[in-house]
Amino acid sequence: MTAEEEGRLLRLALAQRVTIPRLLIETTLASETGETVTERRNAIGKLFELHRLLAAVSNNVNQIAKATNATGQRQAETDATLAAVRRVAERIDAAVDELSLS
């Protein structure tokens, strides 16, 4: 292996936060599935994070709806919460797009 090849492997391994041997194993096995175990694990992690964000935002929406129904007045938090919903939706779209490309 040349120093240049080793450097390229090291950069790829660092980008995926794995060792060079792990990178070589996953890359070889990925030829069957099209993605490495690390890529799959990272994708699942992103989706789990988005799920948690969505659960937190939906809880806020429920609280705002209850308060609005009880008082008949729009709550101050409504705009911020709806903006958070849009941000989470955009992150979900980006994650799905990223998964579609891999």
pLDDT tens readout for residues 73-97:
888 888 888 888 888 888 888 887 8
98 and 52, same structural domain? yes
> Is residue 101 located within the same domain as residue 53?
yes
The domain of 29 spans 1-34
Q: Is the pTM of this model over 0.85?
A: no
Asked whether residue 101 carries a pLDDT value surpassing 70, the answer given is no
Task: Give mean pLDDT, residues 63-73.
Answer: 91
Are residues 17 and 41 located together in one domain of the fold? Answer: no
pLDDT digits (tens, 9 = 90+) for 22-61: 888 878 877 676 777 777 778 888 888 888 888 888 888 8
How many structural domains does the chain have?
Answer: 2
Instruction: Identify whether residues 91 and 49 lie together within a single domain.
Output: yes
DSSP string computed for 26-94: HHHHHHHHSS-HHHHHHHHHHHHHHHHHHHHHHHHHHHHHHHHHHHSS--TTHHHHHHHHHHHHHHHHH
Does residue 91 share a domain with residue 49?
yes
Same-domain status, 77 and 102:
yes
19 phi, psi to nearest 5 deg: -80, 165
- On whether both 54 and 29 belong to a single domain, the answer is no
Residues 84, 55 share a domain:
yes
Segment 5-20 shows an average pLDDT of 90
* Whether residues 90 and 47 fall in one domain: yes
- Over 80: is that where the pLDDT of 100 sits? no
Instruction: Give pLDDT, residue 33.
Output: 67
